[in-house]
Structure 1
Amino acid sequence: MLQDKSIKDFILIHTIFAVLAAITLLFPLPTAQVDGKMLVLVILYNALIIVEFNLKGHEEWKSIWLFSFILSLFMVFPDWYLAETLGALVFPTGGLPMIGGAIPLYMAGLWSIPFFIIIFVGKEIQKRKSIEMTYCIVAILGVLIFVLSELTLVNLPSWTATVTGMTGNLAWYIIIPELILALSAFICYENVMEKKIWMKVIGAFTVMIFYIGNASFFYFLIETLLL
């Protein structure tokens, strides 16, 4: 499996990004705000992917990235809804303009990182294993990425959950919606990857709406009914 050039390039690009991210976030710059650093990393990640698929001719990378980026743009709405309507999380104010006065600019592209990773890994697994195994791995990978993000990015701080049911900075109500989000993003990509751009936009919008519904339901179930 590791002999596949696409996989080797995937590992290399993400290793480079991990090193650059660590340097960017950990290097002390007195005048640098967290939102500025995160925006630089979001731009850097997407630039690395774009340069890579253009230089190496990875057409599947291009398709996955395009869908992931469109979906990431739409994911501003769930974050906005959770922050402004439900009051379930708070984004610290930095030096850059906020979307709607509530969401940092980098959030419009941040989701492209986990979506690209999840869909890429899912597609590679699908080439070698059953669809049932693929869905299981996509769901597990999605939960791991999203949960680790919730638990670690609070230390920057990038955002803070403000609900009752929490472990560290991980809100319980969001775990199942994020598992479903990973699966729905992968399944949607499967259905629109060879379609025209407007179908990708509609598909991404549908995944976003589905996520808002799940987040709302599990927020009500856990935060209102159970706690």
Structure 2
Amino acid sequence: LVSLWYAAMWCTCGRTNGGHDRDKGRLWRIWEFAAMVSLLQPLPDLFLATVLGTIEFAPGPLMLLGVVPGAYMGMWSLLLVPLLHFCCEANHAALPRALVKATFLGTLLFWVCEEVICSFVSLWWQKNVSVLFGSVAVYVLAAEAMLSSVVVAVGSHVVHHCPMQPPWMRFCLAAIVTLAYTGSLAIFYMLIEPRDH
């Protein structure tokens, strides 16, 4: 599924926007930034599995450090692309409203997808978690709400104001998003889950 998604986005964005940086359109830049963030997102998953001990992943053909399936390096962009598409703003004055929209839309998207995955597909199992909304840990939803607003704030800058930045600089901005998400997972876990965990 992840491979098909990337192939479809590559064909669509490449055919529409051409191959040169200066010719790349908005959708290409959104997809590129979402892919960079997604590439780094196994790091928070490793943190959840090895430090907090709140998740266990189903085994797959390529396991990163023997813990997280390699497909997770691409999976996040399936939700980040629509989130960025609907919420990115070129106008700085409109950004606060866009961040509120991103927080609510992102939380809804993540919750629905994780609820479906928890109910029908065994990609992972939660452990040592007691505060749930449906089948999803509340501390994770809170962190994903923060992730949604941060990825749109940084993504709006990358997509609309820095199209000519070198790839390594855009990758560094993507890393900031992932680090912020990892930190928020730790903070919300400590705030929301009972102390005896």
What TM bracket, shorter-length normalisation?
A: 0.7 to 0.9
Q: 1:62 aligns with which of 6, 17, 28?
A: 28
Tell me the percent identity. Answer: 26
Q: Hey, what's the Cα distance between the residues in 1 that align with 2:9 and 2:42?
A: 21
Amino acid at match of 1:113: L
Tell me what 1:121 maps to. 86
Q: 1:170 aligns with which of 123, 136, 159?
A: 136
Amino acid at match of 1:54: G
Tell me what 1:35 maps to. none
Amino acid at match of 2:16: K
Aligned length: 184
Does residue 137 (structure 1) correspond to residue 74 (structure 2)? The answer is: no
Q: Which has the higher contact order (CA 8 A, sep 6+)?
A: 2
Amino acid at match of 2:82: I
**Structure 1 portions without partners, runs of 5+:** 1-40
Q: Hey, what's the Cα distance between the residues in 2 that align with 1:167 and 1:217?
A: 18
TM-score if structure 1 supplies the norm length? Answer: 0.75
Deviation at 1:223, TM superposition (A): 1.6
Cα RMSD between the aligned structures?
A: 2.0
Does residue 183 (structure 1) correspond to residue 149 (structure 2)? The answer is: yes
Contact kept in structure 2, 1:165 and 1:171, CA below 8 Å: yes
**Structure 2 portions without partners, runs of 5+:** 18-23
Amino acid at match of 1:209: L
Tell me what 2:122 maps to. 157
Deviation at 1:126, TM superposition (A): 6.4
Deviation at 1:226, TM superposition (A): 8.8
Contact kept in structure 1, 2:90 and 2:157, CA below 8 Å: no
Q: Hey, what's the Cα distance between the residues in 2 that align with 1:70 and 1:156?
A: 26
Flag the 1:131–1:192 CA change in 2: closer, same or farther, 3 A: closer
